[in-house]
Amino acid sequence: MSIRVERVRKKIRFLVANVLQRELKDPRKGFITVTRVDLSPDFSRCIVHVSVLGEPGDVSKTMHMLEDARGFVQTRVAAGLETRTTPHLTWELDKGAQRSVEVSALLNELAEERAEREARQAVAEGEDGEGAEDGAVDDDAPAGDA
């Protein structure tokens, strides 16, 4: 990828994120993060990868809102770019963030199950031992030569 394409790609990512965060007022807008921008070498096409946090219904509403607002966002991007042409923006849902949230939830669930299992095991061992625990000092035992 050429340096110019990379520079324009980064600028588009910044401009799109700025428009989505500050200028776009739509009740369907969820928590959107621009994760990546792919730009064709001739600047004719641009795929904006976005992450949307929320329930599946909220994600769907947000993606529809983005499609409806494409022209508005593209106009704002065109104003901020210093290129002869403005790429046609398309949106693509990046499911990586959602997968990260799901994996974190699973790991937390496993940690809780492990803690519960260890607590049950400790209680069971305490009931089986009913006396001095390993390494405990028995006060009734005669003192040895020290």
Q: What is the mean pLDDT of residues 75-101?
A: 87
Domain assignment present for residue 17? The answer is: yes
Q: Which residues touch 19 (CB under 8 Å, ≥6 apart)? A: 72, 73, 76, 77
Q: Tell me the C-alpha distance between 9 and 3, whole Å.
A: 10
Q: To which H or E segment does residue 36 belong?
A: strand 31-39
Domains in the chain, number: 2
Whole-structure pTM value: 0.67
Q: Which domain holds residue 75?
A: 3-94
Domain assignment present for residue 146? The answer is: no
Q: Are residues 65 and 118 in the same domain?
A: no
Q: Are residues 42 and 105 in the same domain?
A: no
Q: Are residues 120 and 109 in the same domain?
A: yes
Q: Are residues 60 and 44 in the same domain?
A: yes
Domain assignment present for residue 137? The answer is: no
Give the phi and the psi of residue 135 in degrees, each rounded to 5: 85, 0
Q: Are residues 43 and 113 in the same domain?
A: no
Say if residue 24 is exposed, middle or buried (CB neighbours under 10 Å; 0-12, 13-18, 19+).
middle
Q: Are residues 87 and 106 in the same domain?
A: no
Q: Are residues 73 and 83 in the same domain?
A: yes
More confident residue, 76 or 134: 76
* pLDDT-based confidence at residue 15 (cuts at 50, 70, 90): very high
Q: What is the mean pLDDT of residues 4-13?
A: 94
Say if residue 75 is exposed, middle or buried (CB neighbours under 10 Å; 0-12, 13-18, 19+).
exposed
More confident residue, 112 or 133: 112
Residue 131 above 60 pLDDT?
A: no
Domain assignment present for residue 142? The answer is: no
Q: Which one of 50, 70, 94 terminates a domain?
A: 94
